[in-house]
């Protein structure tokens, strides 16, 4: 039986983490106990969809495409926005760049240029844009959540291509202050609420948090949902959190520890969307994956996975399956 997909996913068509670099391979270091969970498996070779872009006057030899979002626009084209770091952008050196593909599995999507710069007048830190995540809300409007270094912010679009910041009562793009460098938001609808998961590292301790909202505007206080365990508790031990409800009440959290040649993402399972293990792994840890900042896309009954290239010079995609654990 195909896992039940939340009602908002067919519109947003995207984003989540996981699987392996080796065709047909399961997660590494599996240790979960319950037979109810599934394991992510890569089914095909990776397809290279985006390379290090030409930023013109903002180019540097050290620039890298990192955290990104993939979704299908209203006209059917596929959109990829990535945070590019270590550029000549003033401040924190980061900006958003955009690619477009006719088909999800096409190689070498078309570079479309710089999509967004930080705007300090709207409450964003100069050069501090991080990790765009886009989904389609129930009214058909595309919503983008992203980090601005010190806050989580939002923008909106009618066509899924051109976004305008959504401002609060103070005329800022800020949704909430998430602590020390809040970033990598992902939004999921569970029951009657929207859940926003993100990472931050207060006191240099990386952790994953969640806030809920009935309307995507007013958010609850933060709740700690994952920290520590085998992944560690350093400032970057809970990067790129992504939660998917693969089946009713079956939640998977993916959190990245390392980028590059030694990439590592840890996977956790829970029946409680607000608890994936805090300072322990018991009953939650599934496996580690040799990839970084992955995203999962569900399209036409199939799952796909996108992740960073090992050399941090681009983004790739492959088909993904979930198999029963033994």
CATH code of residue 48: 2.115.10.20
Q: What's the pTM value of the predicted model, to 2 decimals?
A: 0.90
Residue 4 lies in a domain: no
Residue 3 lies in a domain: no
Residue 181 lies in a domain: yes
Domain span including residue 90: 9-324
Domain total of the chain:
1
User: Which pLDDT tens digits describe the chain residue by residue (326 residues)?
Assistant: 333 333 333 333 333 333 333 334 456 554 444 447 888 887 879 999 999 999 999 999 999 999 999 999 999 999 999 999 999 999 999 999 999 999 999 999 999 999 999 999 999 999 999 999 999 987 889 999 999 999 999 999 999 999 999 999 999 999 999 788 999 999 999 999 999 999 999 999 999 999 999 999 999 999 999 999 999 999 999 999 989 899 999 999 999 999 999 999 999 999 999 999 999 999 999 888 889 998 989 899 898 989 999 999 999 999 988 888 76
How far apart are the C-alpha atoms of 224 and 71, rounded to whole Å? Answer: 28
Name the residue among 108, 113, 106 with its Cα closest to residue 84: 113
| Helical ranges in the chain per DSSP H | 9-12
Q: Is 164 exposed, middle or buried (0-12, 13-18, 19+ CB in 10 A)?
A: exposed
* pLDDT, position 206: 96
pLDDT given at position 27: 62
Residue 278 DSSP label: B
């Amino acid at each position: 039986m195909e896992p039940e997909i939340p009602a908002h996913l067919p519109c947003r068509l995207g984003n989540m983490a996981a699987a392996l670099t080796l065709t047909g391979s399961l997660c590494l270091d599996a240790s979960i106990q319950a037979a109810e969970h599934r394991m992510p498996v890569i089914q095909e070779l990776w397809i290279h969809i985006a390379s290090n872009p030409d930023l013109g006057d903002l180019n540097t030899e050290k620039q890298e495409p990192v955290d990104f979002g993939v979704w299908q626009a209203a006209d059917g084209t596929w959109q990829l926005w990535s945070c590019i770091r270590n550029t000549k952008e003033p401040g924190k050196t980061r900006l958003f760049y955009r690619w477009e593909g006719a088909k999800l599995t096409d190689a070498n999507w078309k570079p479309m240029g710089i999509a967004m710069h930080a705007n300090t007048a709207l409450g964003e830190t100069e050069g501090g844009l991080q990790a765009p995540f886009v989904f389609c809300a129930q009214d058909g409007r595309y919503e983008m959540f992203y980090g601005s270094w010190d806050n989580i912010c939002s923008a909106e679009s009618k066509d899924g291509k051109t976004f305008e910041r959504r401002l609060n009562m103070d005329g800022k793009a800020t949704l909430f202050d998430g602590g020390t460098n809040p970033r990598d938001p992902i939004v999921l609808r569970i029951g009657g609420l929207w859940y926003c998961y993100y990472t931050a590292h207060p006191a240099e301790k990386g952790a994953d948090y969640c806030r809920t909202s009935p309307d995507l505007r007013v958010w609850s206080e933060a709740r700690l949902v994952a920290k520590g365990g085998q992944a560690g508790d350093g400032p970057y031990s809970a990067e790129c959190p992504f939660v998917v409800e693969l089946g009713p009440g079956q939640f998977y959290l993916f959190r990245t520890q390392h980028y590059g040649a030694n990439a590592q993402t840890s996977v956790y399972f829970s029946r409680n969307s607000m608890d994936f293990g805090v300072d322990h792994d018991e009953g939650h840890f599934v496996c580690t994956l040799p990839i970084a900042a992955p995203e999962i896309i569900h399209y036409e009954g199939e799952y796909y996975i996108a992740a960073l290239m090992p050399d941090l010079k681009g983004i790739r995609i492959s088909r993904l399956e979930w198999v029963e654990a033994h």
